[in-house]
Amino acid sequence: MSAARWLSLIGIGEDGLAALTPTARALIADAALIIGGARHLELIGPQKAETLRWPSPLSTAMETIVARRGAPTVVLASGDPFFFGVGDMIARNVAAEEILCLPAPSSFSLAAARLKWSQQDCALLSLHGRAFERVTPHLQPSRRLLILSWDETTPARLAAHLSALGMGESRIHVLEHMGGAEERIRSARAEAFSLTEIAPLNTIGVEVISAPGARILPLTPGLPDDWFEHDGQITKRDIRAVTLAALAPRRGECLWDIGAGSGSIAIEWMLADPANRAIAIEQNATRAARIARNAASLGVPDLAIVEGAAPGALAGLPAPDVIFIGGGGEAEIIDAAWNALPLRGRIVANAVTIETQALLIDAFGRMGGELVSIAISKARPIGSYHALEPALPALQWRAVKS
């Protein structure tokens, strides 16, 4: 190994030291410091090196690791350190040319091999150290999921979640100690899940089977209004679908949803891609709490919520790529939002009242963009017949900052 590469990330499985390559075993034998979980350190047995168990949080160990710069140091990780592992955290603190990585098969690879599933066709996600609700958007009919559990309670919790959504026929496979002497694979239907004595470190395979009427998140914007808790302050489904199209989500972008109401715009923005971020700004405390519940229920628990009134509440927020203004705008809010946008940033605002529409017409005159009138009518019964009843038309301003 090059002297510059003093830090070795070594993936290790349940089969321990014997399954490692000669290079990996030599790096462990020559290390001055070995860092890993209690299970990892037990798998390699006694070594001459100083050992350090991962603290909580893991990031607090980085100071110790960086302080050993230049001395042979080994970090042990489960499977592939750069697949939901510690690799990313370490690479953010140590230069790439100073790191050698020797991965082992990941838990995903092992689980796919055991279940005979094509890994590229599965949704791969981790619930370890992450909010459980993140699984919800992935629950699509006939889809296969491979999931890293948080602990031994995760399979039963997932079974209950699937059943509550009308997916109780789904098949859950619990894989424990893969590659070791105690390897075990057990399966059960979600609605009849009764597996016990599950190992804390386990991987789950799910075959999603949905019953008629199951609550499945669509892949396009425009969730039903009654999927959100709200008090009437919600961008209605049809207008919301048009608004999301105008906002044009792109992977990894940050949205400010000003006057968020029920949080419907911010939530559907985040559902567009797992990497998308959003901040819901809402001055009403009851509504802010409701937004949090909606976000968890619909699978985006990481939605940031700021309780406060714009424009003051906008100060100090992470910079937006895109801004939506709902809930009735004011000239000061529009100007503050425009000023916060970066070059080529996008803004969309909706207005129903003539007073707010006047503000958007003024913004259009000053900042450019386009004005679009959106009119929705729905069939309503009139005796034994039906007629189209128009909703209040919305004026939408869309602009790109240049």
Overall domain count for the chain = 3
Identify the domain boundary among 80, 104, 128: 104
The closest of 171, 149, 136, 78 to 302, measured between CA atoms, is 136
Q: Per the domain annotation, does 355 fall within a domain?
A: yes
Contacts of 280 (CB under 8 A, 6+ apart): 257, 260, 263, 266, 288, 291, 303, 304, 305, 306
The closest of 201, 208, 9, 10 to 107, measured between CA atoms, is 201
CATH of the domain at 54: 3.40.1010.10
Mark whether 74 and 177 lie in a shared domain.
no
Taking the chain (402 residues) in consecutive chunks of 10 residues, what is each chunk's mean pLDDT?
81 91 95 94 93 91 92 95 94 95 96 97 95 97 97 98 98 95 96 97 97 95 97 95 98 97 98 97 97 98 97 97 87 96 97 95 97 96 96 96 96
pLDDT digits (tens, 9 = 90+) for 64-114: 999 999 999 999 999 999 999 999 999 999 999 999 999 999 999 999 999
CA 228 to CA 266: how far, in whole Å? 12
Per the prediction, the chain carries an average pLDDT of 95
pLDDT digits (tens, 9 = 90+) for 168-185: 999 999 999 999 889 999
Q: CB of 40 within 8 A of CB of 59?
A: no
> 342 preceded by cis ω (within 30°)?
no
Identify the domain boundary among 88, 104, 120: 104
Q: Say what the pLDDT of residue 1 is.
A: 45
Mark whether 99 and 123 lie in a shared domain.
no
Q: CB of 320 within 8 A of CB of 326?
A: no
Q: Say what the pLDDT of residue 329 is.
A: 74
Per the structure, the complete domain to which residue 232 belongs is given by 225-400
> For 110, left (φ over 0), alpha (ψ -120 to 50), or beta?
alpha
One-letter amino acid at 21 equals T
Q: Per the domain annotation, does 220 fall within a domain?
A: no
Beta-strand relationship, 322-325 and 254-258: parallel
Q: Per the domain annotation, does 331 fall within a domain?
A: yes
pLDDT digits (tens, 9 = 90+) for 342-377: 999 999 999 999 999 999 999 999 999 999 999 999
Furthest-apart CA pair in the chain: how many Å? 88
Q: Say what the pLDDT of residue 327 is.
A: 67
The pair of structure tokens assigned to 30 is: 């020559």
**Any alpha helices (H) in 225-284, and if so which ranges?**
237-247, 264-271
Paired residues of 50 in beta bridges: 33
Mark whether 306 and 318 lie in a shared domain.
yes
Between CA 246 and CA 394, with CA 379 as vertex, the angle to 5 degrees is 30
pTM of the model: 0.91
Beta strand spans in 3-54 (E): 7-12, 33-36, 50-53
CA dihedral 227, 231, 236, 237 (to 10 degrees): 0
Beta-strand relationship, 202-207 and 171-176: antiparallel
CATH of the domain at 301: 3.40.50.150
